[in-house]
Amino acid sequence: MPNIIDGKAISAEIRRELAEKTQVFKEKNGFAPGLAVIIVGEDPASKVYVRNKHRACEEIGFTSFGYELPENTTEEELIALVEKLNHDNRVHGILVQLPLPRHLDEEKVLLTIDPRKDVDAFHPYNVGKIMIGNYDFLPCTPAGVMELLRRSHISVEGKECVVVGRSNIVGKPQAMLLLQANGTVTICHSRTKDLKEVCRRADILVAAIGKPEFFDASYIKEGAVVIDVGMNRRPADGKLCGDVDYASVAPHTSYITPVPGGVGPMTIAMLMQNTFTAAAKMGAK
């Protein structure tokens, strides 16, 4: 039987630890870490994510600043707001909820965020620091995966790690973090030949392709650790599912993350962790 990695419980534990640290931080410094979250438009999924972020701030004891901008906000208006928040010393983390409406240039907006407040770690300055292994923040989802491994006492050192997916927010930074943890890392993508063969070599397989239940047992080495980053709707019933066909894969693994309740809850915990780090670096005594 596999060990099921309980991301919900681990995320709650991290948030509890952060709440304790925040209490001490506030007593010492006289202010709370502050996170500003900007959302543009009416995307229902984004609204849920933003609400969860405010709730997490409240629970931990951070100050949260919410900005709900209308769909027709101009790039100049959005950039002006980011610049204002860059100079607001109550704000230690700035997050612009993606995706932005089409008429707004995401890259340009993200580049405006002060790298010291870039708690998503999407700014090229922070991406570069991750590449050289000298970073302040890590992108939340891959950092969450590393934390799940660490807290489940799964060592990466010397292991064959296969990351499927090469996006800037998940696959690439995930591979870099596994490399920094001394894994032997292979990155796969849509042009990879013999994907199944490569996946079958993995001691640790990270699936991040956004294809519902794509990986069945034939992709898995017996006893592997399987981390499912995917968050998809299953076409048959519209329910949330991962990139891994859990029922077929789980019996062949030593550890596996479920969807929901695996990687998903970690992302927000790591965002809170980054905000705390930013506040500690910028303003703490």
Q: Which helix (H) or strand (E) holds 21?
A: helix 7-29
- 165 interacts with ligand NDP by CB under 6 A: yes
Q: How far is the CB of 232 from ligand NDP (least distance, A)?
A: 5
Residue closer to ligand NDP (CB basis): 161 or 195 = 195
Give the angle subtended at the CA of 185 by the CAs of 182 and 187, to the nearest 5°: 150
Residue closer to ligand NDP (CB basis): 80 or 131 = 131
Identified binder of ligand NDP from the candidate list 32, 146, 170, 226, rule CB under 6 A: 170
Catalytic residue among 6, 53, 243, 273: 53
- 3 interacts with ligand NDP by CB under 6 A: no
Catalytic residue among 97, 117, 228, 273: 97
Nearest to 210 by CA among 266, 249, 167, 251: 167
Burial string for 219-244 (b: 16+ CB within 10 Å, else e) reads: bbbeebbbbbbbbbeeeeeeeebbbb
Strand ranges in the chain using DSSP code E only, listed in sequence order: 3-4, 34-40, 63-69, 93-96, 160-164, 184-188, 204-207, 224-228, 232-233, 240-241, 253-256
- 141 interacts with ligand NDP by CB under 6 A: yes
Is 120 a catalytic site residue? yes
Binding segment for ligand NDP (CB under 6 A), chosen from 29-37, 185-193, 215-223, 273-281, is 185-193
- 274 interacts with ligand NDP by CB under 6 A: no
Report the alpha-carbon distance of residue 215 to residue 196 in Å, rounded.
Answer: 9
- Which residues sit at the interface with ligand NDP, rule CB under 6 A? 141, 164-167, 169-171, 188-192, 195, 208-211, 229-232, 263-264, 267
Show which residues are catalytic.
53, 97, 120
